[in-house]
């Protein structure tokens, strides 16, 4: 299966390139990046110490064709790549976060023409945590207060993380609540007594933390916590490549990691 990687010189891009080059059933045919990266025209494999003969290009139109393009960049870049994929009929795996509701609508519209896996987190363990949080919420019900804490490296530009927001949506749905109505983002000042229906999200940024997420169900006399800690970006890369394999032969449509993992 032929794979294209965007943001080739970035932390996630390099991890994806290395993972593809070590996968015997996958072939890196294109690597994309912006001109400011300084790596356009260079061998993409050299970014990870494994020369492969694939030159970094500016966009998909100037690169070799691929069966699937993997994008972990920024919303604006992802949407530009999305347009190119729709034009060429290339399937797409999107791990970018920070989209507005309108931008998510553009992705949904594109999925009417190509097959897309779009998920806030591609790591297998994190997606297991989504399901565990749903089950816990159904069992514990309204008698437990829900707090979500996420921590990422100092370079992450959006907060809270897409994963934390997804956890909030999953728990809210299991409890029969509207996440939009009950979400609270951090607290400051005299906030008064906690609203029992609140689902609060707290974001931590610092150092080189890859990504930690905890859903806390705090009841009277006990606390249940579901925590997943990503120690390497490789977990995201391996999940994204699993999504690529899932898309092989799939018709147009919008899928997520729950579909990839057979959890629907």
User: How confident is residue 186, by pLDDT bands cut at 50, 70 and 90?
Assistant: very high
Q: What is the pLDDT of residues 80-124, one digit of tens each?
A: 999 999 999 999 999 998 899 999 999 999 999 999 999 988 999
- Distances in Å between the Cα of 71 and the Cα atoms of 64, 192, 205, 241 are 16, 42, 23, 11
- As a whole number of angstroms, the distance between CA 246 and CA 232 comes to 23
Check residue 59 and give its pLDDT.
83
Q: Are residues 98 and 151 in the same domain?
A: no
Q: Are 28 and 5 in contact (CB under 8 A)?
A: yes
- pLDDT band per the 50, 70, 90 thresholds, residue 195: very high
Q: Which domain holds residue 189?
A: 124-230
Q: Of the residues 152, 166, 202, 213, which is catalytic?
A: 152
Statement to judge: residues 80 and 161 lie in one domain = no
Catalytic choice (2, 27, 55, 156): 156
Q: Report whether pLDDT(64) > 80.
A: no
Is the domain of 65 the same as that of 101? Answer: yes
Both 67 and 131 in one domain: the answer is no
Same domain for 83 and 28: yes
Number of domains in the chain: 2
Tell me, yes or no, whether 97 and 154 share the same domain.
no
For residues 128-144, give the mean pLDDT: 97
Average pLDDT over residues 210-230: 97
Instruction: Answer yes or no: are the C-beta atoms of 132 and 242 closer than 8 Å.
Output: no
Q: Are residues 147 and 42 in the same domain?
A: no
Q: Is 156 a catalytic residue?
A: yes
Query: What integer is the mean pLDDT of 184-195?
Result: 95
Name the pLDDT band for 63 (thresholds 50, 70, 90). confident
Q: Judge if 167 and 77 occupy the same domain.
A: no
Which CATH number does the domain housing residue 90 bear? 3.40.50.720
- 85 and 47 share one domain: yes
Partners of 115 in the β-ladder: 253
Task: Provide the pLDDT for residue 146.
Answer: 98
Q: What is the CATH number of the domain that holds 129?
A: 3.30.360.10
**Considering the chain, what is the average pLDDT of its residues?**
95
Confidence label for 49 from pLDDT (cuts 50, 70 and 90): very high
pLDDT of residue 214 exceeding 90 = yes
Domain co-membership, 239 together with 225? no
CB burial class (10 A; 0-12, 13-18, 19+) of residue 126? buried
Checking if the pLDDT of 231 tops 80, the result is: yes
Mean pLDDT of 217-230: 97
At residue 18, does pLDDT exceed 90?
yes
Whole-prediction pTM? 0.83
* pLDDT above 80: residue 264: no
Same domain, 94 and 171: no
Residue 173, pLDDT > 90, answer yes
Same domain, 15 and 107: yes
**Distance in angstroms (rounded) separating the CA atoms of residues 80 and 250:** 22
């Amino acid at each position: 299966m032929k794979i294209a990687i965007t943001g080739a010189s970035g932390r996630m891009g390099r991890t994806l390139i290395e993972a593809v080059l070590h996968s015997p059933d996958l072939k890196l045919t294109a690597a994309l990046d912006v001109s400011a990266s300084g790596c356009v025209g260079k061998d993409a494999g050299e970014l990870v110490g494994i020369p492969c003969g694939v030159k970094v290009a500016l966009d998909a139109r100037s690169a070799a064709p691929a069966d699937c393009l993997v994008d972990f960049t920024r919303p604006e870049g992802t949407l530009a790549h999305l347009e190119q994929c729709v034009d060429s009929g290339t399937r797409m795996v999107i791990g970018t976060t920070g989209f507005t509701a309108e931008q998510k609508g553009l992705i949904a519209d594109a999925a009417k023409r190509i097959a897309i896996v779009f998920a806030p987190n591609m790591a297998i363990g994190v997606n297991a945590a989504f399901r565990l949080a749903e089950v816990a919420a159904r069992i514990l019900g309204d008698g437990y207060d829900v707090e979500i804490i996420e921590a990422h490296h100092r370079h992450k530009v959006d907060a809270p993380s897409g994963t934390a927001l997804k956890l909030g949506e999953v728990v809210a749905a299991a409890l029969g609540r509207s996440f939009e109505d009950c979400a609270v983002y951090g607290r400051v000042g005299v906030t008064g007594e906690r609203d029992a229906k609140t689902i609060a999200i707290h974001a931590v940024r610092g150092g080189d933390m890859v990504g930690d997420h905890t859903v806390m169900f705090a009841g009277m006399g006990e606390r249940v916590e579901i925590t997943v800690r990503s120690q390497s970006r490789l977990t995201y890369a391996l999940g994204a490549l699993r999504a690529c394999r899932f898309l092989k032969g799939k018709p147009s449509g919008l899928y997520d990691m729950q579909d990839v993992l057979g959890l629907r």
